[in-house]
Structures are given as structure tokens and as C-alpha cells.
Structure 1
Amino acid sequence: MKVQQIQQAAQVAGLEDWGTAGLPGTQPARVTGRQVVIPGAEAVDTGVFECSPGTYRRSVKEAEVMHFLSGSGSFTPDGEKALHFKGGDTMFFEANTEGLWEINETLRKIYVIF
């Protein structure tokens, strides 16, 4: 199949439990998602990601593009000022970008990691 579609990603149900993320002494955020495998491009990680409110460090080492469908919060790259986001915003991360996520309202995003 050359084209894969996630219909109504903002409302799609049945996301898989991906565990929790958090910093010591903080409320852990619940993480769920659905990964989509693109035949012939298995090295590209893409899908739907959802995270409840919480604070945690970004652990993805690859470059990433994400589009927020809903939610709000901020990402503070190490040594830089916070970038605030809400549903409808898009972010681009260089490889090896590290920093702190602060999720205020449950976020849902479409992501592509490459």
C-alpha cells in the first residue's frame, strides 16, 4: 500500500498504552499512541501520540516533526527559552535536541521521527 491514512486522528480511539514519563518528584504523565509502519520505510517512525499533563525530559535523539491536534504546554530546549504550543501548532526538532516538556492540557499530536 503506497498511502496509509489515519482517519480523524484527533478523535481516533484505541491507542496503545506506552507507559509513563516523568521526572522524580513529579506526577507521571500517561503516554499512549499508535505507530504507523510505512512499508519500505520502516526506519521512519510515525503515528499518533497522546500524553496527559506532566513534566518530563525529551529522550528522542532523532530529528522529529510534530503537529499538535489538541492540548497545550511548553518545550524548553536546554539552554534556551520555553516555546509554548497549543492545538494547531507544528514543531520541528533537530536531531539530538534535548529539553523539558511541560504538558498543561492533555496533548495529542501526529509525529514523524526520521
Structure 2
Amino acid sequence: MKVQQIKQAVRLQPLEDWGTAALPGTEPARVSGRQYVIPGAEAVDAGVFECSPGTYRRSVKQAEVMHFLTGAGSFTPDGEDTIHFTGGDTLFFEANTEGLWEVNETMRKIYVIF
């Protein structure tokens, strides 16, 4: 199959429990998602990701593009200005981008890590 479709990703259920993310001393955010494999490009990580409110550091070292379906918050890249996001926004992260996520309203996004 050359084309995969994620129908109604904004309401997609069930998602897999991927644990928690938090800074020490903060309330952990619940993280869940569903990963999709692209045949012939198994090294590409793509899927749907959801995170409840919380604050945590970005640990992904690869480049990533993400499109937010719902939610709101911010990301502050180390040494740079804060970027605020809401449902409908798209962000691109260069490889080795580190910084601080602050999720204010449960967010759901479509992501591709490459």
C-alpha cells in the first residue's frame, strides 16, 4: 500500500499509553499515541501523539515536523525565544533541537521524525 490514511486523527481512539513526561518536581504529563510504519522507510517515525498539560524537556534528537490538531502551549528552544502553538499550527524542528515544552491544554499532533 503506497498511501496510508489516518481517518479523523483529531478523534482517533484508542491511543497507546506511552507513559509520562515531566521535569523533576512537576506534575507529570500523560503521553499517548499511535505509531504508523511507512513501508520502505521504516526508519521514519510517524504517527499521532497526545500529551496532557505539563512541562518537560524535548528528548528527540532527530529532525521533526509536527502539525497540531488540538491544544495549546509553548516550546522554548535552548537560547531562543518562546514559540506559542495552538491547534492548526505546524512546527519544524531541526535535528538536535533541545528545549522546554509547556503544554497548557491537552494537545494532539501528527508528527514525522526523520
Classify the TM-score, shorter chain. over 0.9
* Equivalence for 2:25: 25
1:1-114 correspondence runs (5 A): 1-114=1-114
Query: Which amino acid is the alignment partner of residue 90 of structure 2?
Result: T
Shift >2 Å, 4+ stretches: none
Counterpart Cα distance in 2 of 1:16 and 1:6: 15
* Structure 1, gaps ≥5 residues long: none
Query: Which amino acid is the alignment partner of residue 9 of structure 2?
Result: A
TM-score by length of 2: 0.99
Question: How far 1:29 sits from its partner (Å)?
Answer: 0.3
What RMSD, in angstroms, separates the aligned Cα atoms of the two structures?
0.3
The total of aligned residue pairs comes to 114
Question: How far 1:81 sits from its partner (Å)?
Answer: 1.1
Q: 1:14-69: per-residue Cα shift (whole Å, max 9, x none)?
A: 00000000000000000000000011100000000000000000000000000000
* Structure 2, gaps ≥5 residues long: none
Question: How far 1:98 sits from its partner (Å)?
Answer: 0.1
